[in-house]
Amino acid sequence: MIDARLQPLQRAALRHPAQMLAARGVKADAISIAGFAVGLLAVAALALGWWTAALVLIAANRIMDGLDGAVARIQGPTDRGAFLDIALDFVFYALVPVGFALHNPAANALPAAVLIAAFVGTGSSFLAFAAIAARRGDRAAAFPTKGIYYLGGLTEGFETIVLFLAMCLIPASFPLLAWIFAAACGVTTILRWHQGWTAFR
């Protein structure tokens, strides 16, 4: 919901570290893959109930997700980088609820499953819109530097990160937070369906 407004702040914060990494020859794709590996460690930490470690690893994953784009803008963005970035992001988002479900299946499995299904709704509507928009040559005015068409919604990247961090800080609240966020994702999915139906008529 507010990703576009946060972009200038994110770019300013990551500009210097991105320049340092690019100067040392670190590739954006390598940062994407390393960030995903950090995300997998976060899922393992969640399954073990290591909440502080999981919080730190999730935050590191998201920082690296911003850094890969910042480095790509310096080195020159590529189609492979844009594909890798979004593909790994969506898998990471789905795996975080799995970590909570593994930690406490009795309490968390059902809300985790519903949350993952809700992520499928937001992700599939996002990617379907992006695919058609690319074929038509459309660009998202709010996200001009993104490698694919970014379609906004009630639940975007920032809101999802806040959700995951809140779940780590108050792990007992996972079921309630998962149900609430799944409902918000449902609203986002319906709004995106409507936007696609209207834009591509």
Q: Say how far apart CA 160 and CA 164 lie, in whole Å.
A: 6
Q: Say how far apart CA 58 and CA 100 lie, in whole Å.
A: 13
CATH of the domain at 49: 1.20.120.1760
Amino acid at 29: D
Indicate if the pLDDT at residue 142 is higher than 90: no
Q: Say how far apart CA 200 and CA 9 lie, in whole Å.
A: 33
Number of independent structural domains in the chain = 1
pLDDT of residue 144: 59
Q: Say how far apart CA 32 and CA 144 lie, in whole Å.
A: 20
Task: Give the position of tokens 């073990």.
Answer: 48
Q: Say how far apart CA 17 and CA 164 lie, in whole Å.
A: 25
- Per residue in 19-76, pLDDT (tens digit) is 999 999 999 999 999 999 999 999 999 999 999 999 999 999 999 999 998 999 999 8
pLDDT of residue 57: 98
Note down the domain range covering 70: 3-199
pLDDT of residue 149: 66
The answer to whether the Cα torsion of 145, 150, 154, 160 is positive or negative is negative
pLDDT of residue 130: 86
